[in-house]
Structure 1
């Protein structure tokens, strides 16, 4: 028995082939895999960028950058160099003479006696000193070769004429000292009132290098 054709179906029409269910299912793994891959690339880039920012450059520029920041560490203070300048009652040698300064007295207006002496232009500073010959030959001590200084490095010379009165019988002026012997006396400096002597330059001769002694 022959049935009539469906009038709503055009002649020669072929229905489309339905998409297999397996093909539909395979789309989701690719999509998910792509998203995971993008996330991994982003994480690797962030880690690499952070490591580059925190790594310390080999040339030490990181230290310079840190020093400019608010948490910069203050540089370590260097220790003050030790002062080896000898002071009172400490032997100090120059050439063949060893000097020991034993006392300082300033503010003296006159040396000698009321009948025979000398008045200061300003004030006399009397420096008590011992001079020992540590050489192998006799040598003459000259007080005129000795210099004094104040805190401003102003230089003062010995007043040899006043030293004659200040020393009395203890003469060290032009004294010839044999090897091993020691003489004692006073160096006299006429300085302005209020001046405080801070150091001496002592010499075994006018042409020696000298040795600095602190009076502080």
Structure 2
């Protein structure tokens, strides 16, 4: 009986836990003694478990909702995050998360490195020169491997971190940037000789939505 009353009066949290405990105790006692009230005990157990399941589901939803509110849109001079701007061009600052990106130019090479240590491209190296500024309020790591290059046919190319290690400026590999600071980086891609780079998709992390910059 106590399990049923607790299940009705306080379905969530502590009442649900007590309803489950009392329900199991009551069912066990009824089995031993043959007393009446098994139906109420089972009903209390059901209500208790429903309350616990509802509380768990509410907690999961609360965590999911709070996690989805982490991105903030602010004015260009603010210190928050912005994901409203989804495209840009060479020389135009664009933002994704905590980073403001400005692609300054592109270039191509057959190999990177020096006379002692170098790497030859499979096709040609496309180097995208970019300024990365942290406009957020926390340190953020820039990684070249999070960036993606697209050609005019829509083919996607990943950054070549191994080849980037041969560059004098290896910022494209991995760089921790504090709020307000900026770095000059080069993101390097190994693409076929006849490839015409159309755009680059820049990300402040591997899981961000990204921002597209036209390279034409």
- TM (norm. structure 2) is 0.59
Partner of 1:131: 132
Pairwise CA distance, 1:164: 1.4
Q: Which runs of 5+ in 1 are unaligned?
A: 1-83
Given that residues 139 and 177 in structure 1 are in contact (C-alpha distance below 8 angstroms), is that contact kept between their aligned partners in structure 2? yes
CA 172–188 in structure 1, closer or farther in 2 if over 3 Å, else same: closer
Partner of 1:202: 202
Counterpart CA distance in 1 for 2:102 and 2:126 is 17
Given that residues 110 and 124 in structure 1 are in contact (C-alpha distance below 8 angstroms), is that contact kept between their aligned partners in structure 2? yes
Q: How does 1:1-216 map to 2 (within 5 A)?
A: 85-106=87-108, 108-166=109-167, 168-169=168-169, 171-216=171-216
Pairwise CA distance, 1:161: 1.1
Q: Secondary structure at the match of 1:86?
A: strand
Q: Secondary structure at the match of 1:144?
A: helix
Q: Which runs of 5+ in 2 are unaligned?
A: 1-85
- Whose helix proportion is higher, 1 or 2? 2
- TM (norm. structure 1) is 0.59
Counterpart CA distance in 2 for 1:182 and 1:215 is 21
Pairwise CA distance, 1:177: 0.1
Given that residues 199 and 215 in structure 1 are in contact (C-alpha distance below 8 angstroms), is that contact kept between their aligned partners in structure 2? yes
The structure showing larger relative contact order (alpha-carbon pairs under 8 Å, at least 6 residues apart) is 1
What's the Cα RMSD here? 1.2
Given that residues 172 and 183 in structure 1 are in contact (C-alpha distance below 8 angstroms), is that contact kept between their aligned partners in structure 2? no
Q: Secondary structure at the match of 1:148?
A: strand
- How many residue pairs align between the two structures? 131
